[in-house]
Amino acid sequence: MPHGGRCGSGRGDGAGGAHLGNSPDGSATMLTGTYRLDGEISGRLLDALPPLPALDGEVWDCPLMPWLGEEIVRDEAGQEAVLDRLLDLLLISVLRAWFSRPEARAPGWYRALDDPVVGRALRLLQNNPAHPWTVAGLAAETGVSRAAPARRFTALVGEPPMAYLTGWRLALAADLLRDPESTLAAVARRVGYGSAFALSAAFTRERGLSPRAYREAALSGADALGNKS
């Protein structure tokens, strides 16, 4: 789940709040929060959502909203930290409610998180991409036979576990490459490749451009980055 959200009270500090309308005592209140993210890991989630998902009170009755409304106008110590954490919780609550609707088209990896075997395998791959994972290793960690996780993973997620791991590693690498201070060798180590050459070869093969070209395009704000997810 993405972090770094900002929720604020309209002080003009970029926090995302605003005072609108003609009366502070009006019957409706709009609260706004912003996540400043630009990357492929967060894009996997955003791609599964419409441009403007909307939930009404019949579908989603969140107890966090009154608390957020009170905190956003409370100018006390720790307000920013409280608002940021509330925004994280609010986002999680919205996503759960959105994807739990009967008509929702949740991506395979999201649905698979509820599976006791595949969900654990997904978390292992996501939380420790640098580990030298194998199907046998995943089976041992999830407590099932070697063939079981591969079959169930493919059926629920839509691709084999090692293919998913490759995509996750390269998406993570693409995000890390946006930091001009990170060397290619350091990025390679963090995402599970033994050398900068190995990462460069995999990245170029899957995305059609080298890590260096990707970094230059990302830092220059280019639209076409050859993304594949």
Contact (Cβ atoms closer than 8 angstroms) between residue 201 and residue 213? no
- Tell me the CA distances in angstroms from 42 to 6, 7, 27, 149, one per residue in order: 16, 18, 35, 25
- Residue 81 pLDDT exceeds 50: yes
pTM: 0.77
User: pLDDT of 149-201, one tens digit each?
Assistant: 889 999 999 999 999 999 999 999 999 999 999 999 999 999 999 999 999 99
Q: What is the predicted pLDDT for the residue at 168?
A: 96
User: pLDDT of 91-125, one tens digit each?
Assistant: 888 888 888 888 888 889 999 999 999 999 999 99
Q: What is the predicted pLDDT for the residue at 222?
A: 61
Comparing C-alpha atoms, which of 173, 121, 128 is closest to residue 151? 121
Residue 104, CA atoms < 13 Å, CB-side half-sphere: 20
User: pLDDT of 206-229, one tens digit each?
Assistant: 999 999 999 999 888 765 454 444
